[in-house]
Amino acid sequence: MQLTGAQIVLECLKEQGVDTVFGYPGGTILNIYDELYKQQDDFLHIRTSHEQGAAHAADGYARSTGKVGVCMATSGPGSTNLVTGIATAYMDSVPMVAITCNVNLPLLGKDSFQEVDIAGITMPITKHGYIVKDVKELATTLRKAFKIAKSGRPGPVLVDITKDVTQKSCDYKTVTLSEEKRKITYNHDDILTAIKMIKASKRPFIYVGGGAVISGASEELKNFAHTVDAPVCDTLMGKGAFDGTDELYTGMIGMHGTKTSNFGVSECDLLITLGARFSDRVTGNAKTFASKAKILQIDIDAAEINKNIRTNFAIVGDLKEVLSAINEELPVMNHSEWLEKISDYKKKYPLKYETDKLTCPYIVEELDKLTKGEAIISTDVGQHQMWAAQYYKFRHPRTFLTSGGLGTMGYGLGACIGAKAGNPDKLCVNIAGDGCFRMNMNELATASKYNLPIIEIVINNNVLGMVRQWQTLFYEKHYSQTIFEDKVDYCKVAEALGCAAFRITKKSEVVPVLKKAINAGKPVVIDCIIEEDDKVFPMVPAGASISEAFDAGDLASKK
């Protein structure tokens, strides 16, 4: 049948099972939006307040559902406004297809109005990018884009389409998608070698990254950990892959990881690395990281093997499949003496905070109790992000959405909107610092327009908290441009944008307000006033070994 390019775009989205799109219309993409108007019963289109919000919403949708997120924008500034969101998705391996439209083919390369080479701009931050100049290539290109976005190590793909392609027509045939068999890149001998290393270990430690979430390996990971009888730590991206309430769990590793995880990894004789890339925020000084241990790494991306840390053995493959194969042949092990030492560390070095005042950790702990760990939590970037990772007990995968690799301030609210669109029956909460909230708080208008009952918790210390923490500890308290000193009222802003609003100034108000917000049935902003000098501990100084983690008590004893 003959279809226009705009119709082909929507038909291809239907082929891929897409029912939700985030975007913002404009001149070059008008033909697609006109077709969306005609087919509005087939798609939930959420028009965000800004294109960056659309990219973050598509990201949050993808992370929380496991599906490919889709965002759309027009040419020029519309497409460039997607860039931060695309880069965020790229750094955290999030499957996304960004569809942009460009000027008509004859106008390309002539500095035409709102023309920009978005494919060129995003080349370093996408798995692949296309510019479609022929309507006959459109369907094939879109199918390739979705395949690339979700295969192997996932990531964003950009498809830029000239406006005249969306107008022209060609024959279109619907394609029924079939499940492709994954190419196996390891053999049985690799499995046996890994098992041999595990059996020889006396002090194994399991280090879990975002690959465990992406591969859906939670059940296999649980069985593996209890069979090996080894402690488990995770990265920011790995949260929820392993139950945060499990007795083997030791907390996050790295710059703001627990002392138990950091000391344990520093003392183990085998570090079993599952779907993690040895980020600098995890390893600290790479030369001293896990220096007493052999390294066994399992990852789907061969490029991550020996990139940051040299391994003793590695298996390249899908983590769920590899762990399943290992679990079939791995004998039940006992490391009671090692686990007893780790348990002693847990008792000696628990996470702690000041209990005589309102703090973010207290708010997060109460939220965890009220939701029983069943909410989807998104965050922005900074102190509040670390506190959320430390004090909310993530029990399930795809329940923690945060910008780990890029560290994108302003990410959380859009991601929370996307998560709620993809999981309408789940409670979705964004935890943001006041600095981050300012960056994209216009997306509250999106939440209220579409009546998405999300909860936005603003941890308001009237400063850029994490930057101030560094200034306090390492820059002689030179608070250069980190104190807001203004009169912004976030509750009034929230109400003006169609949301309910509450303010918390003391501990006794936390639970009653959280209960009201959970039952509000509309988007809610909670402005939480905390002290400006609260700090995230433990902490590892930049470039130091993770065994040098310190907390408030260590600082006090030094003084």
Please list the residues that pair with 433 across neighbouring strands: 459
Q: Under a CB-based contact definition with an 8 Å cutoff, are residues 296 and 271 in contact?
A: yes
Rounded mean pLDDT, 523-532: 98
Is the pLDDT at 180 greater than 80? The verdict is no
Q: Which two tokens stand for residue 10?
A: 């929507």
Write down the pTM of the prediction.
Answer: 0.97
pLDDT of residue 184: 84
Is the pLDDT at 181 greater than 80? The verdict is no
Rounded mean pLDDT, 362-372: 98
pLDDT of residue 183: 76
Active centre residues (catalytic): 51, 113-114, 163, 466
pLDDT of residue 185: 86
Report d(CA 156, CA 96) in Å as an integer: 4
- The domains located in the chain, with CATH, are 2-171 (3.40.50.970), 188-348 (3.40.50.1220), 360-535 (3.40.50.970)
Q: Under a CB-based contact definition with an 8 Å cutoff, are residues 546 and 284 in contact?
A: yes
pLDDT of residue 177: 79
Q: How far is residue 86 from each of residues 51, 80, 149, 259, 429, measured CA to CA in Å? A: 11, 10, 12, 34, 22
Rounded mean pLDDT, 468-494: 96
Is the pLDDT at 162 greater than 80? The verdict is yes
Read off the pLDDT band of 155 (50, 70, 90): very high
- Reduced to 3 states (helix: H, G, I; strand: E, B; else coil), residue 451 is coil
Rounded mean pLDDT, 218-238: 98
For 84-100, write each residue's pLDDT tens digit.
999 999 999 999 999 99
Report d(CA 428, CA 400) in Å as an integer: 10
Q: Which amino acid is at 387?
A: W
Report d(CA 299, CA 281) in Å as an integer: 19
Is the pLDDT at 182 greater than 90? The verdict is no
What mean pLDDT, rounded, does the chain reach?
97
Rounded mean pLDDT, 371-399: 98
pLDDT of residue 15: 97
pLDDT of residue 513: 98
Rounded mean pLDDT, 152-159: 98
Judged by average pLDDT, the poorest of 116-120, 179-183, 206-210, 300-304 is 179-183
Q: Report the percentage of the chain scoring pLDDT > 70.
A: 100
pLDDT of residue 557: 85
Report d(CA 20, CA 16) in Å as an integer: 11
For 103-126, write each residue's pLDDT tens digit.
999 999 999 999 999 999 999 999
Rounded mean pLDDT, 66-94: 98
Beta sheet of 20-23, edge-to-edge order: 44-47, 20-23, 69-73, 96-102, 156-162, 128-132
Which string of b and e fits 122-141 if b means at least 16 CB within 10 Å? beebbbbbbbbeebeebbeb
